[in-house]
Amino acid sequence: MSKYSTRELVADKAIVREEIAISAPAVPEADRSFNLPTGLYVATAGSYFAFLGIMSVGFSTPGLILPIGIMVVLLTAFFGIATIFVRTDPAARAKIMRLGQLRSRGVMTHTGRLSMKDVAIQMLILPVLIVMWGLTVVTIAALV
């Protein structure tokens, strides 16, 4: 249970050390690239845009022009800003892993090393499932 303590009681029990200098922690340098091959990011962006294309073709009504347009603009900004971050920083561009490096070294994660196949599966499973879901929805709507 909690108990109310007065300032005087806390001051009597507290150990105050004045010799410790308080300094602000150093801010680590931000690494804005995930250091994976560019093709994986292109595949991710392509699958999200493919989903929007499937939805816009499958449900082509004038009322959906604005929402689909907004989603295209947001996705373009999402992937475009990340591309700008990597292109403007030469150090980040130099850190990007090539496909051969990924194939030979894999990626070390908190739970262990992942091979190239496992990295691609983890990175692309959600976008591919979203595309498959879009195809399923459009197919069901066409059959009904």
pLDDT in tens, 88-110: 877 777 778 888 888 998 888 77
Give the pLDDT of residue 30: 54
Q: How far apart are CA 40 and CA 44, in angstroms?
A: 6
Q: How far apart are CA 53 and CA 48, in angstroms?
A: 9
Q: How far is CA 57 from CA 47, 65, 76, 99, in A?
A: 15, 11, 19, 34
Choose between 65 and 11: higher pLDDT: 65
Give the pLDDT of residue 117: 93
pLDDT in tens, 27-81: 655 555 568 888 999 999 999 999 999 999 999 899 999 999 999 999 999 999 9
Return the C-alpha torsion angle 51, 57, 60, 63, nearest 10: 30
